[in-house]
């Protein structure tokens, strides 16, 4: 635990709002899961950044500014409130936020450019899954359980929902089907 982190934590279910653009509040550190930061445009949301474990969100609070983007749990996640004890802690957090911004900008570029399979593979990497070929997927059911909705994935990787579904089908082995009862032949049909 960081010395600048309080014991206040927030558990969020997938799709739960963390904070809205324009609000003021505290800085949060992502402990588990992924958080999506969006620019609001009327009724539409446009992904700007994905925060991963260890990242800070709401860093505008370090400069006494309202949140610029809305934050929503992309997956179930756990956040810890970050309390700024003094100007040295503030400077350290601002430095961390700057370095984090560069890394997450690279992630967003990888999520929005290249082939759809490359984008989805990078998204799965951010979720903590990595492999080279579908036969090497260690636990496809764990991946399926960790994924947000196909619509959310499609928005993040800038692809159609149908395309995301098709690519995930290519990347992962099919679901195991429950054994079906053998067909009973009707005496009348024999």
Q: Residue 76 in contact with residue 12, Cβ under 8 Å?
A: yes
Boundaries of every domain in the chain: 9-111, 116-171
Q: 0.85 cut: is pTM over it?
A: no
Q: Which residues contact 56 (CB under 8 A, 6 or more apart)?
A: 27, 28, 29, 30, 82, 93, 96, 97, 100
pLDDT at 133: 54
Burial of residue 98 (number of CB atoms within 10 Å: 0-12, 13-18, 19+): exposed
Mean pLDDT to the nearest integer, 58-64 = 95
Q: Which CATH architecture has domain 9-111?
A: Sandwich (2.60)
pLDDT per residue as tens digits for the range 104-158: 999 999 999 999 999 999 999 999 887 655 555 557 788 888 899 999 999 999 9
pLDDT tier for residue 5 given thresholds of 50, 70 and 90: very low
Distance CA 14, CA 148 (A): 7
Higher local confidence (pLDDT), 71 or 128: 71
Distance CA 55, CA 26 (A): 14
């Amino acid at each position: 635990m960081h010395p600048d982190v309080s014991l206040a934590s927030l558990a969020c279910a997938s799709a739960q709002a963390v904070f809205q653009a324009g609000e003021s509040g505290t800085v949060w550190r992502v402990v588990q899961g992924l958080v999506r930061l969006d620019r609001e445009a009327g009724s539409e949301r446009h992904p700007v950044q994905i925060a991963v474990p260890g990242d800070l969100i709401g860093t505008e609070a370090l400069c006494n500014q309202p949140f610029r983007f809305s934050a929503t749990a992309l997956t179930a996640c756990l956040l810890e409130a970050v309390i700024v004890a003094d100007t040295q802690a503030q400077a350290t957090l601002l430095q961390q936020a700057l370095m984090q911004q560069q890394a997450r900008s690279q992630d967003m570029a990888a999520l929005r450019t290249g082939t759809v399979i490359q984008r989805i593979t990078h998204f799965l990497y951010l979720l903590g899954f990595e492999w080279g070929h579908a036969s090497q997927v260690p636990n496809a059911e764990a991946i399926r359980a960790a994924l947000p909705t196909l619509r959310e994935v499609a928005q993040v990787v800038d692809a159609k929902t149908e395309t995301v579904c098709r690519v995930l089908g290519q990347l992962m082995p099919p679901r195991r089907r429950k054994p079906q009862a053998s067909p009973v032949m009707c005496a009348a049909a024999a």
